Amino acid sequence: MHTVKYIRLDHTVHTFQIEKGTNLRQALLRQGLSPYTKYTKKVNCGGNGICATCGVWIEEGAPLPQHWHDKAAERFGYARLSCQVKVEKDITIRQVEKWIWGGRRQL
Ligand code: FES
């Protein structure tokens, strides 16, 4: 089991446990911690790595990106695609401030 620490925009912290290898997007949705906004909650690619609306900042425990779109997100300073992240160790993530995709971090 691994611990996921999720920091919301209002700085509240949710902590929960998941099995190793669990998809991060699915874990968040099961916890009622949607990575989507009210606009993208119903209009997204369903976890196929295409729409980039499921982004979260990974503060600690980031796995290496495996999917081409998640690799690009990491490379260019955008939020990681939660649908393309398998949790392999304890992880701390932060909700992204966004309408659709959110902005870049300074590299
Ligand atoms: S849900 Fe579309 S890229 Fe993650």
DSSP character string of 39-77:
TTSSSS-SSSSSS--SEEEEEE-PPPP-SHHHHHHHHHT
Full-prediction pTM beyond 0.95?
Answer: no
Is 103 part of a structural domain of the chain?
A: no
Whether the CB of 81 sits within 6 Å of ligand 1: yes
> Is the pLDDT confidence value at 107 over 70?
no
Whether the CB of 79 sits within 6 Å of ligand 1: no
- Residue 101: what pLDDT? 84
| Residue nearest to ligand 1 atom 1, measured at CA | 47
Whether the CB of 53 sits within 6 Å of ligand 1: yes
Q: What is the pLDDT of residues 28-86, one digit of tens each?
A: 999 999 999 999 999 999 999 999 999 999 999 999 999 999 999 999 999 999 999 99
CATH at 55: 3.10.20.30
CA angle at 64 for the pair 59 and 66, rounded to the nearest 5°: 130
Instruction: Give the count of domains, the chain.
Output: 1
For 84, the token pair is 């393309």
Whether the CB of 56 sits within 6 Å of ligand 1: no
Length of the chain: 107
Is 100 part of a structural domain of the chain?
A: no
Segments forming the whole domain that contains residue 64: 2-95
SS3 content of the chain, % helix, strand, coil (to 5): 20, 25, 55
